[in-house]
Chains A and B, each alone.
Chain A
């Protein structure tokens, strides 16, 4: 119970600190409770890192393809740096993983027009499996932005009822940052955000289990597309915009306070006159 409370307090604090600094912040907190470090790291979403194989092919490094300090490449299924006795997906799941990566890459191209995507699968004891579909996109020195980064972390838990019904539970988190290091009007401007959403859907697979792999990829892909689009829209229209509202209700723009008072005065007069 004690560990639960301490982890809860850590998560409370992390929510009050800039989301893209979460690695550093979590490290600071876990230095106070080293026994619970692993547990805390598994509960947080941080910007995705990029690694590469010996030929320079890049892939995303995450909790989902990590074993110790090494990361598994989705292209050749090898760990970098190499290790003995590591965790690999089963042969069948590895086949599905290859197909998913090819299809997800197209999704990445259509929506992100750049960036890097990786899918990782792992077996579960209950006969189902889980998978993480990840995207990391950077924007550098364009139209005044020094740097911007987007990380999507889609984790899908897949279960079956043993017959033909499959249930997909998705948890998607987006972590993003926009950084302007010197703008002549506003100076140094940094805005970071993270948002998470969950969704669950069940579907009947085609009879006879034909093309079940393609079925999984379609269903998971559609969920990823829907939830990512929702989160992007929320961050753009609600969350980032809200920081603007907070600033402008703290320090009004020129003349605004006067016009608010004028409107309030008129409203008061109107009320008096017409009751």
Chain B
């Protein structure tokens, strides 16, 4: 094996590890993790293509929100091209800085457009923004609506996300839901994550899928949009209530089953008595 071959294998190893670690990092901490990975590997910085690719994948999986002067965009696998993201509504391609979560530049572009579907898209956007304002923390939240197809055969893609990032107090969380809407069906995937790491390290990872029948009437865009977002809202509320119930039952069905706070006698172990009794038994 000559020198050139050895180097390629080493880089491939870095790439595998970096991808895996960054993928499993909670949203909000990727930049810090990448800095530490660079220190471990040595002679590499966060702008290295391997690091940037891992960060890009991480941002897309978490529907990261990028802010610009007068606009913002959610990035996902759906609107991602190699060097830019597609903003279907505004007919633009957008370039972003993955480390700073900022929009770098925008260019006008002509995209295929379906007027019948545009109406529903705009109505959905309006309903989603209303939904965001009612149910989500303002700090970092956003939604997107995109579509594929035409009036006779369409799929709408919706994404909703909110993030809590509070690194000085050692916690962060993400709510990430993605939906597909056809004429007769609503399907969704939800990812809920939370991480608290002041002294200890506790992580929640929760995923759920939804599927429901609906009826979309393109000619009644406003009503259809309300129906769709209302269905989403109900499903997400139900999920949240389920989580609340689970947390309320945790002390009993989980912690107590793991280890009692006290023995069933109600008092701590009598070490003196037990030590003498059990050691005497041993001798026999």
Contacts and interface: CB of A to CB of B under 8 A. Distances in A.
A135 B77 CA distance: 44
Interface in A1-56: 5-6, 9-10, 12-13, 15-19, 21, 25, 28-29, 31-33
A218 B194 contact: no
Interface stretch (A76-84, A85-93, A96-104): A96-104
A225 B37 CA distance: 38
Given A110-B269, A246-B196, A251-B162, A191 B202 contact: yes
A49 B223 CA distance: 57
A102 B278 contact: yes
A247 B195 CA distance: 10
B245 A185 contact: yes
A80 to B, nearest CB: 23
Given A148-B257, A246-B173, A252-B136, A16 B197 contact: yes
A249 B275 contact: no
Interface stretch (A58-66, A119-127, A234-242): A234-242
B268 A225 contact: yes
A32 B13 contact: yes
Nearest to A190: B205
Interface size class for chain A?
A: 35 or more
A144 B172 CA distance: 27
B190 interface: yes
B282 A148 contact: no
A129 interface: no
Contact of B274 (A106, A186, A196, A252): A106
Interface string B259-278: 11111110011011011101
Given A15-B197, A244-B243, A250-B174, A32 B41 contact: yes
Given A17-B25, A31-B17, A257-B134, A247 B204 contact: yes
B197 A214 contact: no
B129 interface: no
Nearest to B245: A185
Given A222-B271, A246-B172, A192 B202 contact: yes
Contact of B257 (A5, A31, A142, A196): A142
A112 B264 CA distance: 10
Interface in B15-42: 17, 20-21, 24-26, 29, 32-33, 36-37, 39-41
B205 A246 contact: no
B47 interface: no
Interface core residue of B199, B257, B274 (most chain A CB under 10 Å): B257
A228 B201 contact: no
B251 interface: yes
A188 B206 contact: yes
B281 A102 contact: yes
A195 B199 contact: yes
Q: Which of B24, B26, B204, B263 has the most CB of A within 10 A?
A: B204
B135 interface: yes
Contacts of B21: 13, 17, 25, 28-29
B78 interface: no
Nearest to A6: B40
A236 B246 CA distance: 13
B173 A187 contact: no
Interface string B212-239: 0000000000000000000000001111
A150 B201 CA distance: 15
B171 A242 contact: yes
B81 interface: no
B253 A186 contact: no
B148 interface: no
B239 to A, nearest CB: 6
A235 B173 CA distance: 18
Contact of A137 (B192, B200, B258, B276): B258
Given A102-B279, A185-B245, A239-B196, A145 B253 contact: yes
Interface in A199-214: 213-214
B171 to A, nearest CB: 5
29 contacts: A16-B29, A16-B33, A17-B24, A21-B24, A28-B17, A32-B13, A32-B17, A32-B41, A99-B278, A102-B278, A110-B263, A111-B262, A113-B264, A137-B259, A142-B253, A186-B243, A195-B200, A217-B275, A218-B275, A229-B262, A232-B258, A235-B255, A239-B196, A246-B171, A246-B194, A247-B175, A247-B194, A249-B164, A251-B162
Given A110-B269, A243-B196, 14 more contacts: A17-B21, A29-B21, A32-B13, A103-B275, A113-B260, A145-B257, A148-B254, A180-B246, A187-B207, A191-B203, A232-B258, A246-B171, A246-B204, A247-B243
Interface of A: 5-6, 9-10, 12-13, 15-19, 21, 25, 28-29, 31-33, 98-99, 102-103, 106-107, 110-113, 137, 139, 142-145, 148, 150, 176, 178, 180, 183-196, 213-214, 217-218, 221-222, 225, 228-229, 232-237, 239-244, 246-254, 257-258
The 3 A-B pairs of least Cβ separation, nearest first, read A185-B242, A187-B208, A195-B200
